[in-house]
C-alpha cells in the first residue's frame, strides 16, 4: 500500500492534504498533537477536524498524536512504514509572529528541529519519497516593505514601473538583511534545511513559500488565520483589531485545495530542492479593508472593528506571490478559487459551526 505521511494533519493544509490523498486511494498517516490549542487557546484547537477525518476515512486514515520534536518517536513511525512511504507533506508549525517572541525556544524547536527530524527520518527510512515542506513568505523578512509603494484609496500598491508590479514577488528576493520576526527566522532555517536535503542528498524536496493560506478547514484565531478568523468575527460579532498601515496592507490568498493541487503536481513529477513562491497571486488578493467589506457583504452583517497604528514587527505592507516559476514547471496546475469563491466557501462551511460555538459558550456562562 502506498503511504502518505502528513504532519499537522488536522490543520488547514494538512487536513486538505489528507482528504485529497485518501480520496485518491492512498493510505494516509497523520501526525498532529493539537499544539495549536497550546499556542492559541481552545478556540484554535484542531480536534474537531481530526475527529471529522477519522469519521470520514475510518480505514484509510491513521492518526498519530506525536510530537515532531521527538526524533525517536518520529523515527519509530517512519521505520514502521519504511519504503511504502511515497510522499511526506510537512505542514506542522508554530505559525505566529507574536507567539514566537513569547517562547522562542518552542518556536524554533517546532519549526526548525521538527523539520530536521522529518527530513532525516525520510532520508533514513524512505529515501525515495517526495518531501513537500510548507515554508512562508516571512523568510523574506520585511524586505518587501522596501518596494516603491503607492497609497491608493483602499490599498497599497507597487509602483507600476517596478518589475514586481505586474505579477508579484518572485524567488529572487533576498532573505538576508531584514527583520523576519523569530517565526520567520525559524521557518527560514527549516526552508534551508529542506533545500539542502534536496541538493546535498539528492532527495526530491519542494519548498512552498506561502502567502496567506486559507480555507474552510482553518481554525482561525487572532494571532493566525487572517481570512478565516476575520469571517468568523463578522459572523459571531467578535471585535476585530486592524494593525497598522491604515488597514491598506495587501495579501494574496490561496485556497487550501488549490495549494494541495500544486502539491500533487509536484508529487507526480518531483524535482530536487526546488523553491516556489506560492499564493493567490494577482488572481486572488485583497487589502485588509477590502477583505472586511467582502466578509460583511457575504455574511450580511457588519464587523465591529478598531484600528491601531502599531503594526506587527516584520509584517508586510504589500505581498503578492509571483507563481510563474511553479506554473512553468507544472503547466497543468490552475487556481480554481478567486477571492470571492474562497470567502464564500469559508462562510458556507463554517457559519453553522460558529453559531453553535457561540450558543454553547453562552450556555456555559449562563
Q: How many helices (H) and strands (E) does the chain have?
A: 13, 15
Q: What is the per-residue pLDDT for 30? A: 98
- How many whole angstroms separate alpha carbon 88 and alpha carbon 267? 10
Give mean pLDDT, residues 216-236. 83
Residue 219 corresponds to which cell in the numbers above?
481554525
Element spanning 213, H or E = strand 212-214
Q: Tens digit of pLDDT for each residue in 76-114?
A: 999 999 999 999 999 999 988 889 999 999 999 999 999
> Other CB atoms closer than 10 Å to residue 236's CB: what's the count?
15
Element spanning 18, H or E = helix 12-23
SS3 content of the chain, % helix, strand, coil (to 5): 50, 20, 35
Cβ contact 183:111 at 8 Å: yes
- How many whole angstroms separate alpha carbon 325 and alpha carbon 348? 33
| Reported pTM | 0.94
Question: What's CA 277's distance to the chain center, in Å?
Answer: 12
In this predicted structure, the answer to whether residue 178 has a pLDDT above a threshold of 70 is: yes
- How many whole angstroms separate alpha carbon 156 and alpha carbon 294? 17
Strands (E), the chain: 3-7, 27-31, 61-64, 85-90, 130-136, 149-151, 156-158, 204-210, 212-214, 240-243, 250-255, 274-278, 285-287, 305-308, 318-319
Strands 149-151 and 156-158: antiparallel
Q: What is the per-residue pLDDT for 225? A: 65
In this predicted structure, the answer to whether residue 363 has a pLDDT above a threshold of 70 is: no
Phi, psi of 143 (to 5 degrees): -55, -40
> Other CB atoms closer than 10 Å to residue 177's CB: what's the count?
7
Element spanning 17, H or E = helix 12-23
- Share the mean pLDDT of the chain: 95
Highest CATH level, class, for 3-215+255-281+318-337: alpha beta
Calculate ∠ Cα 242-247-251, nearest 5°. Answer: 100
Q: Taking phi first (over 0 means left), then psi (-120 to 50 degrees means alpha), and beta for anything else, what does residue 76 get?
A: alpha
Q: What is the per-residue pLDDT for 223? A: 61
- How many whole angstroms separate alpha carbon 282 and alpha carbon 279? 9
Q: What is the per-residue pLDDT for 364? A: 57
Residue 27 corresponds to which cell in the numbers above?
493510505
Longest C-alpha distance within the chain, in Å? 60
Phi, psi of 17 (to 5 degrees): -65, -45
Give mean pLDDT, residues 254-272. 98
Q: Tens digit of pLDDT for each residue in 341-360?
A: 999 999 999 999 899 887 77
Q: What is the per-residue pLDDT for 360? A: 72
- How many whole angstroms separate alpha carbon 178 and alpha carbon 199? 26
- How many whole angstroms separate alpha carbon 213 and alpha carbon 7? 16
Question: What's CA 202's distance to the chain center, in Å?
Answer: 26
Calculate ∠ Cα 108-112-117, nearest 5°. Answer: 130
In this predicted structure, the answer to whether residue 282 has a pLDDT above a threshold of 70 is: yes
CB-facing half-sphere around the CA of 252: CA atoms within 13 A: 26
Q: What is the per-residue pLDDT for 64? A: 98
End-to-end CA distance of the chain: 51
Calculate ∠ Cα 245-246-252, nearest 5°. Answer: 65
> What DSSP string runs through 227-283?
HHHHHHHHHHT--EEEESGGG--EEEEEEHHHHHHHHHHHHHS--SSEEEEES-GGG
* Percent of the chain at pLDDT exceeding 70: 97
Q: What is the per-residue pLDDT for 365? A: 62
Strands (E), 54-203: 61-64, 85-90, 130-136, 149-151, 156-158
Amino acid at each position: 500500500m502506498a503511504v502518505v505521511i502528513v504532519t499537522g494533519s488536522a490543520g488547514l493544509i494538512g487536513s486538505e492534504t489528507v482528504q485529497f490523498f485518501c480520496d485518491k486511494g492512498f493510505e494516509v498517516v497523520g501526525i498532529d498533537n493539537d499544539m495549536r490549542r497550546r499556542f492559541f487557546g481552545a478556540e484554535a484547537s484542531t480536534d474537531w477536524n481530526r475527529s471529522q477525518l477519522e469519521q470520514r476515512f475510518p480505514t484509510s486514515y491513521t492518526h498519530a498524536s506525536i510530537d515532531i520534536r521527538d526524533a525517536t518517536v518520529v523515527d519509530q513511525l517512519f521505520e514502521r512504514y519504511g519504503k511504502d512511504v511515497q510522499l511526506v507533506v510537512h505542514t506542522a508549525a508554530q505559525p505566529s509572529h507574536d507567539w514566537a517572541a513569547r517562547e522562542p525556544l518552542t518556536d524554533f524547536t517546532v519549526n526548525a528541529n521538527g523539520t530536521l527530524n522529518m527530513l532525516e527520518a525520510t532520508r533514513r527510512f524512505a529515501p525515495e519519497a517526495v518531501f513537500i515542506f510548507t515554508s512562508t513568505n516571512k523568510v523574506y523578512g520585511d524586505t518587501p516593505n522596501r518596494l516603491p509603494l503607492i497609497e491608493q484609496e483602499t490599498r497599497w500598491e507597487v509602483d507600476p514601473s517596478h518589475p514586481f508590479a505586474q505579477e508579484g514577488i518572485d524567488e529572487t528576493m533576498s532573505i538576508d538583511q531584514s527583520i523576519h520576526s523569530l517565526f520567520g527566522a525559524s521557518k527560514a532555517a527549516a526552508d534551508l534545511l529542506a533545500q539542502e536535503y534536496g541538493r546535498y542528498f539528492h532527495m526530491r524536496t519542494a519548498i512552498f513559500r506561502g502567502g496567506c493560506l486559507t480555507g474552510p478547514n482553518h481554525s482561525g484565531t487572532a494571532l493566525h488565520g487572517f481570512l478565516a478568523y476575520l469571517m468568523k468575527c463578522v459572523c459571531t460579532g467578535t471585535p476585530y483589531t486592524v494593525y497598522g498601515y491604515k488597514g491598506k496592507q495587501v495579501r494574496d490568498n490561496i485556497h487550501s485545495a488549490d495549494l494541495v493541487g500544486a502539491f500533487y503536481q509536484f508529487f507526480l513529477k518531483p524535482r530536487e530542492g526546488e523553491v516556489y513562491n506560492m499564493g493567490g497571486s494577482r488572481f486572488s488578493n485583497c487589502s485588509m479593508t477590502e477583505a472586511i467589506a467582502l466578509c460583511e457583504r457575504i455574511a450580511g452583517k457588519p464587523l465591529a472593528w478598531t484600528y491601531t497604528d502599531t503594526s506587527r514587527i516584520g509584517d508586510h505592507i504589500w505581498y503578492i506571490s509571483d507563481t510563474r516559476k511553479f506554473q512553468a514547471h507544472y503547466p497543468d496546475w490552475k487556481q480554481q478559487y478567486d477571492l470571492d469563491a474562497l470567502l464564500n466557501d469559508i462562510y458556507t462551511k463554517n457559519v453553522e459551526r460558529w453559531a453553535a460555538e457561540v450558543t454553547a459558550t453562552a450556555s456555559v456562562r449562563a
